[in-house]
Structure 1
């Protein structure tokens, strides 16, 4: 029996993981040429790696642009690693209820080192798909991003905030900080999506007994159907169900 010496590694596996790490660090969809520039791997070899990862579900290649993002299998591994599976299991029935109540897309997002990421998406009305795919990173000015800014420990989100703040005007930064104080109090967040003006979102936190943010539930849809303040009937329903969901985690 051959004994593997301590420190022995498989170089091709190291190269493959280097590709995944490069894509993950960018936090956005990447073209083949982008990945080739980042990794400096020959085109023929890089194609083999990307094709293998795509077939395994570790990467996903979008049909319209051919860009690469992290795949569902990698997200599944990550969720298991941070012990979030139980959170997903517990919130799933509530996601279905909210989807039926709102008739809009419902997202569940968890924290990653690159910011809040969609880990579950629900939309029974497949004719109209407004929202974000699993694996999408959500910006700080989205309803989801605001909740993470309001409730996450400062040391965990410092780098993410600094990066996001470079992309918005200074007056919007101050406005965002003031808004987060209100979100901490009311435990609900609203946003007109910055990339698509006709789309709005409303987000609620999922908190545990330590008031630690486990994730966010976000309703996304056309602005005419999504509330913009807490006085709306749907807003009041979301505030109530937020307390119910967090109550299952001891909050």
Structure 2
């Protein structure tokens, strides 16, 4: 033990592993095995062991359809702890429970990552509903949460994510989405009709701080008939009230016109 913590002594395999993670993080996009191997110049057999270990630990996530690797949910947890973002989750947790108790729908909290908004907290009492998402899921720009991040996220931070998402959307729908996001910035609530799974829709509210910086989104997901499509609804009004209360606790003041 003394040898390990001795000044100047390092564990080479850890250094190599951290180098792999840093390489993936710097690229800011999903990478295939061959991409990582080319960038790191690590032998294929050793690289496979590192990637497989990181994936099993949740430090990396591997897409089943493409085999590409991105940073995993465990790193998001570490990152939030490092910048004291866990305080955000602590503060919103009672509100998430309140929403879930009142409307019996799944409630999610999503936070920003280099690859887009990711679900980092989930409260789902009805496990029989397939909402098409779980902790660690990256949300598309046309989801209720995705629209909020499009509307409120800093342009420089979100540019690459937007460009990638736009490549999957017809041009006329991109223009419609931009118009919709202007309304979302004004009303501070977002709606999405069956963005991931048929018959499952969502509504989301932003968590804003005193600078009107988006800290994350709280999303209610359920069967489409139980999820509103506009703000003129009991659930929408309740969420708008909750949103003001949550964001006020981070110093945000609603602009009165």
- Would the aligned equivalents of 2:143 and 2:196 in 1 still touch at CA under 8 Å? no
What is the CA-CA distance between 1:69 and the residue it aligns to? Answer: 6.1
Match runs of 1:32-47 below 5 Å: 34-36=32-34, 38-39=36-37, 41-47=42-48
Q: Matched residue of 1:194: which SS?
A: strand
Counterpart Cα distance in 2 of 1:212 and 1:181: 16
CA distance change for structure 1 residues 185 and 62 in 2, over 3 Å: closer, same or farther? Answer: closer
- Would the aligned equivalents of 2:33 and 2:68 in 1 still touch at CA under 8 Å? no
Q: Root-mean-square deviation (CA), in Å?
A: 3.0
CA distance change for structure 1 residues 61 and 78 in 2, over 3 Å: closer, same or farther? Answer: same
Partner of 1:241: 242
Structure 1 gaps, min length 5: none
Counterpart Cα distance in 2 of 1:158 and 1:64: 25
What is the CA-CA distance between 1:80 and the residue it aligns to? Answer: 1.3
Match runs of 1:1-251 below 5 Å: 4=8, 12-21=13-22, 34-36=32-34, 38-39=36-37, 41-54=42-55, 56-59=57-60, 70-251=71-252
What is the CA-CA distance between 1:86 and the residue it aligns to? Answer: 0.6
What is the CA-CA distance between 1:52 and the residue it aligns to? Answer: 3.1
- Would the aligned equivalents of 1:131 and 1:220 in 2 still touch at CA under 8 Å? no
Q: Matched residue of 2:81: which SS?
A: helix
Counterpart Cα distance in 1 of 2:14 and 2:209: 38
Structure 2 gaps, min length 5: 253-257
What is the CA-CA distance between 1:155 and the residue it aligns to? Answer: 2.2
Counterpart Cα distance in 2 of 1:190 and 1:239: 13
TM-score (norm 1): 0.83
TM-score (norm 2): 0.81
CA distance change for structure 1 residues 88 and 184 in 2, over 3 Å: closer, same or farther? Answer: same
Counterpart Cα distance in 2 of 1:63 and 1:106: 25
Q: Matched residue of 1:135: which SS?
A: coil
- Would the aligned equivalents of 1:147 and 1:205 in 2 still touch at CA under 8 Å? yes
CA distance change for structure 1 residues 131 and 82 in 2, over 3 Å: closer, same or farther? Answer: farther
Counterpart Cα distance in 1 of 2:104 and 2:65: 27
